Amino acid sequence: MNKSILIFLIVSLSYSVSTAQQKINWLTWEEALELHQNEKKKIFVDVYTDWCKWCDKMEKSTLSDPYVVEYVNEHYYAIRFNAEQNAEIIFNNKQYKPIKSFGKRSTHELAIEIMNGNIGYPTIVFIDENLKVIQPLQGFLDVKTFELIMTYFAGDHYKDMHWKKFVVFYQKKKAKNDYITPSQVQPPVQTVGNGRG
């Protein structure tokens, strides 16, 4: 009996250690931008507040999913950004600071900027390798939806493929359990006219 208890404890401990290690590698703005100088990658920003229940839910579910964690860590520099923090931040050679808004809370100028002025939480913001905002997405996103979105932006599919076409293509490839390469989602070359010079 003691042997079975010992085995149970070892298995339980191994599981808890492996799941504890499956977290997104959250960086500060400064850390992400420093890493970005050495290796260009897209940036993924989780804009949240301490009081936002849906932010907590998304952090504990979608952003803790093992596949999402692995994919984000591989393809993005990830920043968890409290939109009400008091620190000043320099981004794209511009200094951003918190500003007082209605009530007791302040909103950070950088949050307002990257969310295109639409304040709502949670908001996920995708930023390209040139530090330009690709798209802010407001509201809770489940794992399935987020998987599509993070793949769409990481693979640069947004540049040449309509979202609806990408969703259909991705779901077909996923059903086959195939890895998607950029060349597989390139639209076919089209000729204009009858092809005569």
AA identity, residue 193: G
Give CA 137 to chain center in angstroms. Answer: 10
**What's the rounded Cα separation, in Å, for the pair 51 and 71?**
28
CB atoms within 10 A of CB 179: 7
Q: List domains and CATH numbers for the chain.
A: 23-141 (3.40.30.10)
* pLDDT string in tens for the chain (197-residue length): 555 554 544 545 544 444 445 899 999 999 999 999 999 999 999 999 999 999 999 999 999 999 999 999 999 999 999 999 999 999 999 999 998 876 678 899 999 999 999 999 999 999 999 999 999 999 999 999 999 999 999 999 999 999 999 999 888 887 776 555 444 444 443 334 443 43
Contact at 8 Å (CB) between 54 and 122? Answer: yes
In the numeric block, which tokens belong to residue 17? Answer: 């250690």
